[in-house]
Amino acid sequence: MAHIVILGAGYAGLGTARKLAKIAPADTKIDLIDRNTKHVESIELYQVAAGSADADKISFDIRGVLPNNVNFIQANVSKIDYENKTVEFSDHDDMTYDYVVVGLGFRSENFGMEGADQYSYKLQDIPTAEKIYEVINSNIRNYKQSQDPNDLNIVVCGAGFTGIELLGELIDTAKILKAKYDVPEINITSVEMAPQILPMFDSELAKYAVDFLSKNGIKIMTSAKIKKIEPNAVVYTKGDSEEEQRIYANSIIWTVGVSGSDVIKDSGFEARRNRITVTDYLNVEDHPELYVIGDDSASMDPQSNRPLPTTGQLALAQAEVAAENIVADLKKQPQKKFVYKSKGTIASLGPSHGIAEITKPHLKLKGSMAALAKRFSFEQVLYEVGGIKGLQKK
């Protein structure tokens, strides 16, 4: 009887578990392990950070959506001893495996930036998302007493997907809190090092996003390289200039980038930003029984020779192939190479606006149509990770 251990119940782990439950031999033991009892739709965390959704809206109980032949264990992974095929935990007995699938998710990356951990609020899970809204709400409420203009200033560091979707959601949040606490205008600024935002989109769609955010009061600063974070300021240089400038705010949110789980580093894997380069079959070259997918995986794009960007869509596609390849190996059958074909890219700009570029058929959507596409995409992901039960819980 083969023992398959899946580490992490995010998109990658749940997707693998559900696929293995369907195709693995009947006597296979499948253990899914996560430190939490709830699966979090991490692509929707920005809503919790903006106060437009509570945690229950973007999460569901893991056990409630698992097939009967998958065993769930709540435990905190501390290390993978890949030489001895053992997983070590901080709160559970060690566990041996025949195959292990690593999908432990991401953490916010500060890139060694001075003051980032101390003076800004990172967005990486439900507690940090809830903290961000608590800080924004508290500062704006406090303005009447403090008369500190920085209480009304919000800075979002980084204009990747997370940053942009958070900015879009904050448009309505600012209006609601302004009226609730009867304060002057709330100022929201995006600070981004790149010369333009959303380069992965068609230029027309990216321009629509910039125009929409700008028209709704968001100040977008590009070519602004952050140098450090101070207690109430982001210090940056603009363009080629070395002159330091400051933008002041009491709510500073950090969405600059992510890396894989620190378990990767702690286990001694050769990795960059806690992402392990995998083979075309999604396993590790010298340890073919060890599969790495999702945010912990560097799966190479043959065209650019760079790692594919980590998304929920990619994680679910990897989960499907990883499960199939494990079963193929169990049955002594040929494995298949992972070939990624993106279904498209969607960015939310608030509850009723967005931009979307769909692959097949090739469509470019903006405004409310893109928002509908985002909603459909979210429900499709819910179905893939939670099945009918997952959809029903939402």
- What is the C-alpha separation between 42 and 39, in angstroms, rounded? 9
Over residues 296-320, the mean pLDDT reads 90
Q: b/e for 199-208, b at 16 or more Cβ within 10 A?
A: eebeeebbeb
Percent of the chain with pLDDT over 90: 84
- What is the C-alpha separation between 228 and 244, in angstroms, rounded? 10
Over residues 108-131, the mean pLDDT reads 95
Task: Give the model's confidence band at 305: pLDDT under 50 very low, under 70 low, under 90 confident, else very high.
Answer: confident
pLDDT in tens, 1-29: 899 999 999 999 999 999 999 999 999 99
- What is the C-alpha separation between 172 and 99, in angstroms, rounded? 47
pLDDT recorded at residue 216: 97
Does residue 300 register a pLDDT over 80?
yes
Q: Contacts by 176-184 with C-beta closer than 8 Å and gap 24+?
A: 176/51, 177/136, 177/137, 177/140, 177/141, 178/140, 181/140, 181/141, 181/143, 181/144, 182/144, 183/140, 183/143, 183/144, 183/152, 184/143, 184/152
Task: Give the model's confidence band at 382: pLDDT under 50 very low, under 70 low, under 90 confident, else very high.
Answer: confident
Does residue 391 register a pLDDT over 80?
no
Over residues 241-268, the mean pLDDT reads 95
Task: Give the model's confidence band at 389: pLDDT under 50 very low, under 70 low, under 90 confident, else very high.
Answer: low
Residues across the chain: 394
pLDDT recorded at residue 144: 95
- What is the C-alpha separation between 334 and 62, in angstroms, rounded? 32
- What is the C-alpha separation between 31 and 156, in angstroms, rounded? 39
- What is the C-alpha separation between 344 and 204, in angstroms, rounded? 16
pLDDT recorded at residue 63: 94
pTM of the shown model: 0.93
pLDDT in tens, 51-98: 999 999 999 999 999 999 999 999 999 999 999 999 999 999 999 999
pLDDT recorded at residue 386: 78
pLDDT in tens, 181-233: 999 999 999 999 999 999 889 899 999 999 999 999 999 999 999 999 999 99
Task: Give the model's confidence band at 126: pLDDT under 50 very low, under 70 low, under 90 confident, else very high.
Answer: very high
- Residues annotated as catalytic are 165
pLDDT recorded at residue 28: 97
pLDDT recorded at residue 140: 98
